Structure 1
């Protein structure tokens, strides 16, 4: 009887080990290092890319938010076996002022790459360019202060000349000025190839369709690829 109990104990022990190994496999995913070597990484080991923006980042109007450009970037990363997870921190209607108020809460979680996509709603509302610039700089400063080793990327935006040509030109120039000042990567114009193209935008003429978001994802990928 003692032998049988010992035998059962050994069997249970090995069953436990097999179960643990199985759990570890389920919580891990394949990734590749710089040499192309395949390795296993857990979710906790993955680096974080945060897309901080407005309705463009959030994927307003899409049936599935994962069809927004940020979600498509995650799919691209996964297909290449890179150890990064994407956080979609987009809020529809967000202005740079709102973003500056919200960023402190977001920075409670670690990040490795920060993509700032804000300002479009400022332009549509005619908010002074100086105010937009001040808020964008404040957001960048907070990220750098909290995570000095993080890579920062600024998504450039342009607006129609409804508010006047001078305002539109000054608004457009803000993004390059900030990118140069902070020595960070710049996506020249997030909506390049999509803005003004009716077939690539929803009925409101502002928010991209799923097809439009695929172009946005390409615009973003060209800039962030070398950071991964």
Structure 2
């Protein structure tokens, strides 16, 4: 039986890549993003390639919190139920604190954390009603420690997202709920968000990265660094390094 998977930020990057991977597995897709023209192109391509699946697309600005609720509910009504919701939409803006770019840092915080909270709220309302579902949040390897410079706010938002998911997992375990929560910590995956960044260590192409993400999601564990090599050991080490060493590394 085909599953129904909702992905936010699905018009490009990791969202688009995951949509392609799930379509190849025969899953039905609920895809949303601000740029609906790109979603329509992706929908047509995937439906032609995989004629047995159903794809619904809708416009969504995740910073419009009321719209998040409306769109998630509309997808639920269309498919009858939602089996998995992937909170993926985010931005990579950010500037060093105290340099006059509060606007960029605020936008990063609002999109990556507050809007993610709105998506989790909407997803969990649906899952609690269904008494089943799989919530997946796309955090970042940068979430494991505070990061300097342009990445400070970005890393903090991703750490906050991971903490939300951990708290939710603890609650669901306490209640013995069948609802699952997975947090992904992607390493460096080449997408539009970082295409101008040069000399990035261990970076992989989008297809490789998204394939690893979907494999991790299907495994259903609480947390995954993706790709597992080398990011799982790097994450382990980063969590334990003293700040003086981090200052030299970054």
1:185 to 2:195 alignment: no
Higher gyration radius (CA): 1
**Is the 1:114–1:153 contact (alpha carbons within 8 Å) kept by the matching residues of 2?**
yes
Cα distance in 2 for partners of 1:129, 1:118 equals 9
Cα distance in 1 for partners of 2:88, 2:73 equals 16
Which residue of the partner structure matches residue 141 of structure 1? 124
Which residue of the partner structure matches residue 155 of structure 1? 137
Per-residue deviation, residues 97-143 of structure 1 (Å, max 9, x unmatched): 24233211111022352132245249853229874464234212322
Cα distance in 1 for partners of 2:71, 2:164 equals 21
Which residue of the partner structure matches residue 212 of structure 1? 206
Structure 1: runs of 5 or more not aligned: 1-45, 78-83, 195-199
* Moved >4 Å (runs of 4+): 121-124, 164-168
Pair 1:133–1:72, CA change in 2 (3 A): closer
1:59 to 2:23 alignment: no
Deviation of 1:151 after TM superposition, in Å, equals 2.5
1:114 to 2:84 alignment: yes
| Matching of residues 62-81 of structure 1 within 5 Å | 68-75=17-24, 77=25
**Is the 1:129–1:170 contact (alpha carbons within 8 Å) kept by the matching residues of 2?**
no
Deviation of 1:186 after TM superposition, in Å, equals 0.5
Aligned length: 160
Pair 1:94–1:220, CA change in 2 (3 A): farther
- TM-score, scaled relative to structure 1: 0.53
Structure 2: runs of 5 or more not aligned: 35-59, 92-104, 143-149, 174-179, 197-203, 222-250
Pair 1:163–1:206, CA change in 2 (3 A): farther
- TM-score, scaled relative to structure 2: 0.49
